[in-house]
A and B are shown apart, each in its own frame.
Chain A
Amino acid sequence: MRTRLITSLPLLALAVSAMGALSAPVKTAGGVSGTITFTGTPPRMRPIDMSKEPSCASQHPTPVMTETVMAGAGNTVQNVVVYISAGDQAGAAAAQPVRYDQKGCQYVPHVLVMQVGQPLEIYNNDQTSHNIHPLATINPEWNKSQPPGTPPIKATYAKPEFITVKCNVHPWMHGYFAVLATSHYAISGNDGKFSLAGLAPGKYTITAWHEKFGTQSQEVTVSASGTVTANFVFKALPY
């Protein structure tokens, strides 16, 4: 069965490229872009006391701030994962591994996006032990130790989920794995901007997720050419 499927793939690709050649003047892919902002009082980030872990504290000349809400000028928000939650024909998972680093007792990046089934590699760059404890509830929850100089921990996740990651040894270390079913995703920069490109014309639901502000969704219709704008405004609750 498998051989038949595989042999049919190149033919299909040929057919698609032939179609592409015929309709060359018309753009077949649009996109969605926008800016993510919030209203209300900007939550204050606090300095992290790493004095219990001198090997990490010494790497930071000024105290590291918490990264829960990273706001930019004009109340833009960084680290918002924007992805297509409906209307997308999810393709095969990306084969290249995504990398998650522990450096200076921080997670880099703070939010790591990956696709379902995509290989994940976790590195310890510090001179101290970390334990990587992704608190998954839909996927299995595991917890592994990683002393300095040990090889990367490799894992994959089978189901879409936003997973909190923590290190029990260093309680200030908090990060997230965003495991998505789609290959169409973006993560907002400090200017709050995101852009999803290469979308076939059609209706989509796009969802924006933030660790503190939660999720929002909206429907967009992507035409054969041009980029649709979709902005998200989160509400910062006073606390």
Chain B
Amino acid sequence: MSRIPLLACAAEFGLLLSATGLLAAQAQTMSRIGNVTGNADAGKREYRRYCVGCHGPAGDGLGENAQWIDPKPRDFTAAVFKCRSTPTGSLPTDEDLFHSVSRGVVTTNMPSWEPLTRQARANVVAYIKTFSSRWATQGPGTPITIPAETPANIESILRGRDVFQKMECWKCHGPAGHGDGPAASTLTDSKDNPIRPYNFSTGSRFKCGETNADVYRIFMTGLDGTPMPSFADLMQPNDAWDLVHFLRTLQPLQTPEAAIWQTWLPAHAKELKPLGPDQGGR
């Protein structure tokens, strides 16, 4: 019943805490992109020059241009990010932020910052992480694993069409992927601003990338802060790849999937039930 072991335990715990605190604080003012190390102090200068107009001096997304912008600039103090390789609810990796800054966000006012050097972009990423204490108290999530892509053939596309129906993607994105589903007009983001679901017929790029793996990642991790949820608990990798292959046929692109679909469709259109509320599918 002696008190000593307890005290010793507490002391050890305290030591451990302060050590992890130190590490976290360090991680918060630095970023690591491949072999480039970003520094928040240097990033502040870049931020004040390029980012502040929209994202604001306090990083709260209330820069002087913000009122004219829709969707609104990201609020870094909330540390909730759309484009992540990590599960819903977790922080993105430094690389995720770096890619968002570099790529820009299509259909929004966020341009590509590719013209800045890798070092400058890494610095900005480090500085962005100083706006929320979440970076100090929790590390980024563990990126989801994306297994090798399954063959893109007509069977896969048709299975993906069934997934689209079953997961009720059409509720927001519409039966033809035009972003006009029954719930589309009511959607709001986490700050109660109206937001539109993605219209697949408008182009080739998504907010978080353009490759098949990017599409996979988008619906498996969800776009946090928006109505787009994560489907990671509901889909096996095979289903997810099938869905990717089907989604590609909704885009005005000459992708391999679109070619397969367009060759198959004319002779088989009557076999398909329409997608949407009438219990469609095959």
Interface residues of A (CB under 8 A from B): 1, 4-5, 8, 11, 52, 128-129, 131-133, 135, 137, 140-147, 150-151, 153, 168-171
B172 in the interface, Cβ–Cβ < 8 Å? yes
Q: Which residues of A contact B38 (CB under 8 A)?
A: none
Contact call A144/B9, Cβ cutoff below 8 A: no
B80 in the interface, Cβ–Cβ < 8 Å? yes
Contact call B186/A144, Cβ cutoff below 8 A: no
Q: Tell me the B128-155 residues at the A interface (CB within 8 Å).
A: 134, 138
Chain A residue at minimal CB-CB distance from B191:
A135
What is the total number of residues of chain B having a CB less than 8 Å from a CB of chain A? 37
How many A-B contacts are there with CB distance less than 8 Å? Answer: 86
Give 3 nearest A-B pairs by CB, closest first.
A142-B89, A168-B227, A140-B89
Contact call A1/B5, Cβ cutoff below 8 A: yes
Looking at the assembled complex, report how far the CB atom of B1 sits from the nearest CB atom of chain A, in whole angstroms. 6
Chain B residue at minimal CB-CB distance from A155:
B89
Interface residues of B (CB under 8 A from A): 1, 5-6, 8-9, 12, 78, 80, 87-90, 134, 138, 166-168, 171-172, 182-183, 186-188, 190, 222, 224-234
Looking at the assembled complex, report how far the CB atom of A121 sits from the nearest CB atom of chain B, in whole angstroms. 13
Q: Which residues of A contact B167 (CB under 8 A)?
A: 129, 145, 147
A168 to B87, CA, bound (A): 19
Chain A residue at minimal CB-CB distance from B8:
A1
Contact call A137/B78, Cβ cutoff below 8 A: yes
Q: Which residues of B contact A132 (CB under 8 A)?
A: 229
Contact call B230/A150, Cβ cutoff below 8 A: no
Q: If A129-B167, A141-B89 touch, does A171 touch B230 (CB 8 Å cutoff)?
A: no
Contact call A141/B225, Cβ cutoff below 8 A: yes
Contact call B9/A141, Cβ cutoff below 8 A: no
Q: Which residues of B contact A170 (CB under 8 A)?
A: 183
Q: Besides A146-B234, A168-B187, 17 other CB < 8 A contacts? A: A5-B6, A128-B168, A132-B229, A133-B227, A135-B190, A137-B78, A140-B90, A140-B134, A142-B87, A142-B230, A143-B222, A144-B229, A145-B234, A147-B234, A150-B234, A168-B183, A171-B187
Q: If A5-B6, A129-B171, A135-B190 touch, does A142 touch B88 (CB 8 Å cutoff)?
A: yes
